[in-house]
Copies of this chain bind each other. A is one copy, B any other.
Amino acid sequence: MMEPYKLYYWPTIQGRGEFVRLALEEAGVPYIDVARGKGGMKEMNAVIAGGRDERAAFAPPVLRAGELLVGQTANILLFLGARHKLAPRSEAGRLWCNQLQLTIADVVGEAHDTHHPISVNQYYEEQAREAKARSRDFVTERIPKYLDYFASVLQANPGRGGWMVGSRISYVDLSLFQLLDGLRYAFPKAMAGYQGRWPGLERLAAKVAARPRIAAYLGSKRRLSNNEDDVFRHYPELEQGVRVKPRG
């Protein structure tokens, strides 16, 4: 029997690690969320920049699979997708999943920068004014540009079942659920304003949340709550007075 995967990620936030957690949960494979255990942070520090591991990653999340150490969220999902049927078998299908995941990673990065537009080395409060300007652009321009795109990909998918790629669930569906969940937490007014603009994506997110293993995970203590140390943060002032277009 295979030894459990080891996930190295910050112990108090969903963050980028959550995309990996969702894939591991849907796959139903055993894993240890290392940094949430005793001495776990020390163990994590060995596999990130400055750590002693020869293939230390620049930053978490990092996944250990036996001998293999894999970093960068989309790269970990590329690996898990092939191993646990969370991506198509064909090269074309795997590349398409990876391409969509990298596009999701781009939105996530922009969502992070809404509260840290100037420096990750300073507190939000020190860049709150710039954060407000960047958030306005993100909420009114970037969210619809990205979600219109994902909605068009979903619509163009010839596969049955309402998934993003082919006719089976893939890690891209899990990641889109997490993206929508994060955006709704960070910008509830704006996302409410967009209500109904992306019905296919809303149905997809609901289907993901209803997957038995995902539903069990979301109801468990393993699922961390949203908070303002995370990538998706709710600062009401950032969407205050921002008007969105419910239709494209």
Contact = CB atoms under 8 A, between A and B. Distances in A.
B118 A95 contact: no
A176 B92 CA distance: 27
Nearest to A156: B54
Interface in A98-129: 98-99, 102-103, 106, 109, 113, 117-122, 127
B149 A133 contact: no
A243 interface: no
B58 A146 contact: yes
A117 B145 contact: no
A137 B126 CA distance: 13
- How many copies of this chain are found per oligomer? 2
A152 B53 CA distance: 11
Interface stretch (A5-13, A68-76, A190-198, A228-236): A68-76
A153 B120 CA distance: 23
Nearest to A119: B137
Contact of A49 (B95, B99, B122, B149): B149
A79 B95 contact: yes
21 contacts: A54-B156, A55-B96, A58-B106, A58-B149, A68-B91, A68-B95, A70-B99, A71-B99, A71-B103, A72-B98, A72-B99, A72-B102, A72-B103, A79-B95, A102-B102, A117-B118, A117-B130, A118-B137, A119-B133, A127-B133, A130-B133
A43 interface: no
Nearest to A49: B149
A159 to B, nearest CB: 11
A134 interface: yes
A102 B75 contact: yes
B118 A134 contact: yes
Contact of A117 (B92, B117, B122): B117
A132 to B, nearest CB: 10
A74 B102 contact: yes
A99 B57 contact: yes
A78 interface: yes
